[in-house]
Amino acid sequence: MKKSLLIFGAAGWAVATAGLRLGGQYVLRPGGAGAKLRLYAVSFLLMAWPVRRLCRAAGLPQEQWVAGALAVMLPTLVLDPFSSAFFPVVFPNMAPEMAGVFGGWMLVCCAGAFVGAAIPSSRTA
């Protein structure tokens, strides 16, 4: 596992968690399914592209990009189940019923990162 990608993933998790603590109520709001589906779709795409770039920048050969994506995703996969379980404590600014939407959002983000790393590129690393 590429240590620099794990560190980048941990830093990204910390920054994103802090940002959600400060302004998450504007991102995750109770309401219609349309807004949630748009958030999920955009987040999927926004995670696919940077993970590919990070793996390339880390000098990983393309056959190791999935492992690189796992390194980036690992902090989210390990820590955000606790963020979901203790949602009102971790994110007091958001409605408690958004915990499930948050958990789903994190899974969609990780799926986007995985797919971004798994799709072969015509460019060489």
Number of domains in the chain: 1
Q: Give the pLDDT of residue 125.
A: 45
The answer as to whether 72 is a domain residue is: yes
**Whether 43 contacts 108, CB under 8 Å:** yes
**Whether 6 contacts 71, CB under 8 Å:** yes
Q: Give the pLDDT of residue 2.
A: 84
The answer as to whether 57 is a domain residue is: yes
* Tens place of pLDDT per residue across the chain (125 aa): 689 999 999 999 999 999 999 999 999 888 889 999 999 999 999 999 999 999 999 999 999 999 999 999 999 999 999 999 999 999 999 999 999 999 999 999 999 999 999 998 776 54
The answer as to whether 45 is a domain residue is: yes
Residue type, 101: V
pTM of the model: 0.89
Residues 6+ apart with CB under 8 A from 10: 75
Which is nearest to 2 in space by CA: 89, 73, 79? 73
Which is nearest to 16 in space by CA: 123, 66, 90, 121? 90
Domain span holding position 40: 3-13+34-118
